[in-house]
Structures are given as C-alpha cells and as structure tokens.
Amino acid sequence: MNDILDIFGMILLLIGGIFLFLGGLGIFRMPDTYNRLQAGTKATTLGGMSVILSVGILEPGWFIKTLVLVIFIALANPISSHALAHANYKRGNKPYLKGGPEYDQYRKVFEPEVKETKDNTTEKVKEEETA
C-alpha cells in the first residue's frame, strides 16, 4: 500500500515539474500579456498544486498543511490573474488580435459614444467635400 502511494507521489511530482516548466516557457513565448496570463497562470496553478500535493503524499504527516497550500493556490491564482487582466485593459494595452478588430467585444464598453460621433464627423466631412 505504501509503495503504491509512493509511486503515485513520484508521478505527481514529475507531472508538476513538467507543468511548472511549461508555465515558464508559455510566459516566454506568447505574443501579448493576455495570452501570457493564460499560459502562465493555468500551467503554474496545476503544476504547483501537484508538486505540493505530492509532498503531502510522500510525507503523510504533512498532508493537512499541504492541503491548505493547495487550496490557497487554487483560490489566489485566478483572482490575481483576473485583476492583472482587468488592470492591463484599463491601462490601455489592447490585446493582440489575429482575426481583426471585431474580435474584441470588450472595447464597446469603453467607447460606445466615441464610435458614433466619429461616424457622424466623417459623414459631415464627406458632405462638405461633396458640397
């Protein structure tokens, strides 16, 4: 029984290490802040959780404490990544869009009126030009 638990812990440890590595690589390779957040937070969340849980399995006396850490990571990481994404958009960093500007639907929240006035002014300018 103990051997099976040990082997399970080792596999979990190895998987966690690989995901932590992938988190770092993803943060390095992705083209803009939002995609970096996606790759970084997801991979490191699972990686950190499984490394910490594997320590709890390999050393059964520490299990409750490691469980506290796992719950903390699962609660804290999405909140901080959400706060960073929100702050980054408020700051004015537009996301990298492959498919064109209509893929950013969040922009409508900030500039609904600006768009209309822009259209009006351009129409007025056109009228003046034609006149």
Partner 1 sequence: METLSAGGKIARFFFAWVLLFLIWLMFTSTLALQEVLTGAGVSFIIALPTNRFFTEVQLYRFKPLRLFYVIEYLFVFLWALIVANLDVARRVISPKLPINPGIVSFKTKLTSDFAKMVLANSITLTPGTLSVDIIDDTYYIHWIDVKSLDPEQCKKDIAEQFEKILLKIF
Partner 2 sequence: MLNIIIYITLGFMFTGIFFSTLRFILGPTAADRTVALDTLTTIAMALLVLLSFVYNRFIYIDVALVYGVLGFIGVLVIARYLEGAL
- Interface with partner 1 (CB under 8 A): 19, 22, 25-26, 29-32, 34-35, 37-39, 41-43, 45-46, 64-65, 67-68, 74-75, 77-79, 81-82, 85-86, 89, 95-99, 102-107, 109
Q: Write each residue from 89 to 108 as x if it is in contact with partner 2 (CB under 8 A), else as -, in one continuous string.
A: -xx-x---------------
Select the residue interacting with partner 2 from 71, 74, 76, 97 (CB under 8 A).
Answer: 76
Q: Does 88 bind partner 2 (CB under 8 A)?
A: yes
**Among residues 44, 26, 45, 46, which one has the least CA distance to residue 36?**
26
Rounded (5°) CA angle 96-101-105? 95
CB 70 within 8 A of CB 53: yes
CB 23 within 8 A of CB 17: no
